[in-house]
Every structure is written in C-alpha cells, then in structure tokens.
Amino acid sequence: MTVEVIRYAVSGESFCSELIYDETVSGKRPILLVAPNWFGVTPEWTERARVLAGDRYIALLVDVFGEGKRPANRPEAAAMANMQRADTPEWRRRMQVALDRAVAEGERRGIADTSKRAGIGFCFGGGGVFELARAGGDLQAAVSVHGDLTGAFPAGPGDIKAAMLAIHGSDDPIAPKARRDAFEAEMQACGAKWQMLTFGGLYHSFTDVGINVPPEAQYDGHAARQAYDWAHHFIADAFAGRL
C-alpha cells in the first residue's frame, strides 16, 4: 500500500493529510474520505485507513487540526475537538477542502473514479463527515461510526446530497438516545436518505482496539467487523443508486 503525505492550506493554515491506495490494483477506484477520532492522523489511524482502503478505494485520511497539531492525551484531544466543534463553518470548510484535494490527487495520478465519493468517520471524525454532508458536500454516502450525530446547524430540506448511515451503540454515553432521536428528527425534516443501525448494549468506541473503560467506551470485535461490513455494503449501494 502506498501512503503519500498531502499538504495543503485552509484559511491560511497548513494541513497534512494522507493519500492511501494499493498501487498494485489496476483500474480506477472511488474516493473515500476517512476521518479519524479526536487524536487525528496517527500511525494507528494510517493503518486503519489502509485496511479500509484495501483494493476498494482511494482513501484520504483527513487532518482537521492542522499540521503538527496532534493531541498527546485524552484531555488535549477533547479540548481540540471541542474547539473545532465550536466553529462549525471552519470544520465544514476543512472537510470540503480535504474532499477537493482527494479528488484532485486521484485525478492527477489517474487512479480515482471521482464520480464516486464517500466518507466514513469515527467518533469526532463521524461528526466531521456528517458536517460535510450537511453542508451539501458532493458525496454519495456519509457514514458515522459511534460518532457525533447532531450539530450546531441542522440541515434543511434539500441540503444533504449523501445517503447517511449512523452506526451506533445503544448505551453510548457520548451520543445517547436523545441525540439519536434528534438526528432522526433532523434527517426526516430535511428529507435525507438515511439509516441508523444500533448495537444493543454497546458503548462508545466499539471499533477502537484496546479500549476498555465501561460504561463509557469498550471495544467489541464482532461489532467492529459488522460495522465495517455494513459500511462497505452501504457505500456500494449508494454508488450503484440502490438506496
């Protein structure tokens, strides 16, 4: 797998995302934005993006904090994520520029089918993907896995182009049932195509290997496998116009 550092500017600030693809695969593949959790672009997330990309996609692992800005621990990560959440227009702008760069880099290398575009995000990154969709991002599919479900600026009728999939745990204290209900109401009101798949009894971060701090967050290997399978099938159906 090839991992290329992609540097670009947003609002006068430098960002450092990673373009990831299997260079041995012939033919063009869809674009997949991968938005990591609140620790941002790390070696662990590079590896996860490699697995997600496989031979299916050209992936861009998205940096939303800025080059050289990487939290060292959970308090720092929470503070940086909350600062970004507090500026939704800039958050959306950073996600949109990342999508634009993924398309441009895929076209420049001749490896991307840029008519097919999707995003998947985890935890804080799930919120980023959904904010891109709320802003009218040109995606066929937007997937959030144990992610932020609601935002400061709900979508209005016709705003969302993407089919939306939220994969969540019923006992997630970060985005509890009240937020699931608010997300459902928003999707219904704005007329989006949407689905929500809820794992009974699971907490936050159920795809994050090694996490074991119930009742807040806990890894579940079976649920992680199912979540990835659901996401891939959902994205494929969106590309094929089956949703």
156-185: pLDDT as tens digits: 999 999 999 999 999 999 999 999 999 999
Strand partners, 159: none
Q: What global pTM score does this model have?
A: 0.97
For the chain, what is the mean pLDDT? 97
**Spatial separation of the C-alpha atoms in residues 235 and 230, rounded to whole Å:** 9
pLDDT of residue 125: 98
pLDDT band at 2 (very low <50, low <70, confident <90, very high): very high
List domains and CATH numbers for the chain: 2-239 (3.40.50.1820)
Convert the pLDDT of each residue in 100-120 to its tens digit: 999 999 999 999 999 999 999
pLDDT at 241: 96
Closest to 2 in 3D by CA, of 43, 63, 50, 71: 50
Give the per-residue pLDDT at 32: 98
Q: What is the mean pLDDT of residues 53-72?
A: 97
pLDDT in tens, 177-224: 999 999 999 999 999 999 999 999 999 999 999 999 999 999 999 999
Q: With bands split at pLDDT 50, 70 and 90, how would you rate the model's confidence at 150?
A: very high
The span from the CA of 111 to the CA of 3, in Å, is 14
Give percent above pLDDT 90 in the chain. 100
User: What per-residue confidence (pLDDT) applies to 64?
Assistant: 96
Helix 74-85 and helix 88-109: axis angle, to 10°? 100
Under the banding of pLDDT at 50, 70 and 90, the label for residue 61 is: very high
- pLDDT band at 91; cut points 50, 70, 90: very high
* Best CA proximity match to 6, nearest among 89, 85, 106: 106
Contact (CB, 8 A) for 30 and 118: yes
Cβ atoms within 10 Å, residue 156 = 12
